[in-house]
Amino acid sequence: MLAIAFFFCIVAGKLFYVQIIDGRSLQAKALDQWTRDVPLVATRGGIYDRNGLLLAGTDTAYTLYVRPVEVQDAPHLARVIADALYLEYDSVLSKVARTGVSEVTVAKKLPKEQVLALMQAAPKGVYFSRDISRYYPYGNFMSQLLGFTDADTKGQTGLELYYDDYLRGLNGYQLTEADIRGNSLSDAIRYVPAVEGMDIVLTADKSIQFFAESAVDSAYRKYGAKSASCLVLDDTGGIVAMAEAPSFDLNNVPRDDLDALFAMCKMSAVSNVYEMGSTFKIITMAAAVNEGVADLDDTFYCAGSKEVDGQRIKCWKTKGHGSQTFAEAVQNSCNCAFMELALRVGTAKMYEYFRLFGLTQKTGVDLSGEASGLLLPEDAVKPVDLARIGFGQAIAVTPLELARAVTACVNGGLLYTPRVLERVQADGKLVYQSVPQAKQVLKPSTSALVRQLLLGVVNNGSGRLAGVAGYEIGGKTGTAQKYKNGAIDRGKYLSSFIGFLSAGSRQYVALLYVDEPQGLYYGSQVAAPYVGEIFANVAAYLDVPQANVEELPTFVMPDCLGKTYGEVQALCRKHGIYLEAGGEGSRVVYQFPVAGSECTSKCVLFVDMG
């Protein structure tokens, strides 16, 4: 009795396992044995800009299959297929007359018209499956941001990878009952329909992206740079444009050199950290104003260097700026003034603002590969370190972190989480809508004063070449030396400009940076003009009203070679132009613009004193 009960329990347990636990798996295996299936590939969702313009779409083609065991008259079927698809008869016949196979592929990438023509003949044993391929209407455009897919249209990089779950959909199947030889047991066909991928709509604007792409490509080529990049944000943290050069054609991805492809796929604005140099001074300025340790009545003195902790730290202008107001110090990008501002705020408060501005962690942007800023441990920061941080050294951030923080400095003090996705929709119906997330990090009055000071940089200071007559543009130049193995990498710079355009009730912030330009390297000369070009195009595109424009008189740039600094300074005062002087020599050995160039008072003259 015990033995019988024991074996009965074993049998009952096995039945329970087969029918309940493993039942679905065995049913699926059985279904696979007595059915033949043709996959119904799901259409991948499209990627659109904020205005509904297609940035990534799908092409549909069809593959023709024949099941030879179902074919009753192979020569006749071969003739029907060959005539409908314009194929060679003998080649088709050799396929449809094959034996020992359940199905054979006859032709691929067939257009819908040919498929319909063949279906009208209703030949027995003929089946079709749909094939999907990805295409990008603009080719070499927004390449790093959009990313690309593999041969099976699965996302591999960029937004194609990050939002692959939304875009890819679920494949379906066309099922036909068949015996072990593949003979149909029934004329009935069962369908498991594909679930089409969803569409995603971005915060990006195709037109503004085009302006940014044109600017970075021009800067990259003109200065023979390692790379050039541009990031444009709106005042709610939406990424309106992200452009990188060099780039590649998304319709012809260069997969033969994977290392080079990987390098080109990186979004440097998100994944790389840099010492941004003087563009970082906006953060120092905002913290000092917000803490009440600096205002427009302040004055600063620059003798060309400042001693902190027994170390002498040079200003970029080694001859010094002399006595200057707060506004003039910002316009001059005076290192000594910003060292003083950082020391006034103090280490604890400065690091509190770094945390407020999100510089100590990732921004949370919906893109892969994001890095976070690199800061010295707060308890290890000495006054000399803080002084250097004040003008953008000894601290490295991603361009996106900087652009996000500067946006908060000029939009009323609101720090937004940057985002690329605007909404997700399926069959035209809204599935998901992103909502801007923000926190107040500065007083509105602080933001207003920062805007005023940055407008002065473009109207009267080193950022003049970013100005566009009739529009409200402010910003800050940056020229940062690069380091290698802890030492200055001679002759290698990161040249940048970050600025804002007031467009009615909206604002746009643009950061353009050129990595290792050859020849000229000052941000005022290399990057600022391209941001001005972008803003001019954006203003025209958005139909921003233009204020009355006063025509500026022109003059021919004289030859400054061999002149003393005082002589060049007098010349600049005469024509109302801004002077940037590098080097520590007594006479000019290089100038730009060169002698004979036609200029206006909006010109910035760069001279090298040797």
Hey, what domains does the chain have and what are their CATH numbers?
Answer: 33-202 (3.90.1310.10), 206-466+478-546 (3.40.710.10), 550-610 (3.30.10.20)
- Residues 84-123 as b/e (b if ≥16 CB within 10 A, e otherwise) read bbebeeeebbebbeeeeeebeebbeebeeebbeebeeeeb
- Residues 462-488 as b/e (b if ≥16 CB within 10 A, e otherwise) read bbbbbbbeebbbbbbbbbbebeeeeee
Residue 37, helix vs strand vs coil: strand
Distance of CA 45 to the CA centre of its chain: 20
Q: What are the DSSP E strand ranges found in 136-266?
A: 172-178, 184-192, 199-202, 227-234, 239-245
Quote the pLDDT of residue 193.
83
Rounded to 10 degrees, the C-alpha dihedral 171/177/178/179 comes to 120
Quote the pLDDT of residue 26.
66
* pLDDT tens string 468-488: 999 999 999 999 998 887 788
Alpha-carbon distance of 479 to 498, in angstroms, equals: 12
Quote the pLDDT of residue 286.
98
Q: Pick out the chain residues at pLDDT < 70.
A: 23, 26-39, 122, 174-189, 191
Strand 473-484: give its sheet, edge to edge: 239-245, 227-234, 506-515, 487-503, 473-484
Alpha-carbon distance of 473 to 459, in angstroms, equals: 8
CB atoms under 10 Å from CB of 376, counted, come to 16
- My answer on whether omega of the bond before 593 falls inside 30° of 0, hence cis, is yes
Quote the pLDDT of residue 124.
79
Catalytically active residues are 278
Look at the block and give the residue holding tokens 């996106």: 400
Strand 126-135 relative to strand 54-66, pairing: antiparallel
Quote the pLDDT of residue 319.
85
* pLDDT tens string 376-423: 999 999 999 999 999 999 999 999 999 999 999 999 999 999 999 999
The partner residues of 493 in beta bridges, in order of sequence, read: 481
Residue 412, helix vs strand vs coil: coil
Quote the pLDDT of residue 479.
93
Residues 570, 486 contacting (CB under 8 angstroms): no
CB atoms under 10 Å from CB of 444, counted, come to 12
For the chain, give me the number of helices (H) and strands (E)? 21, 28
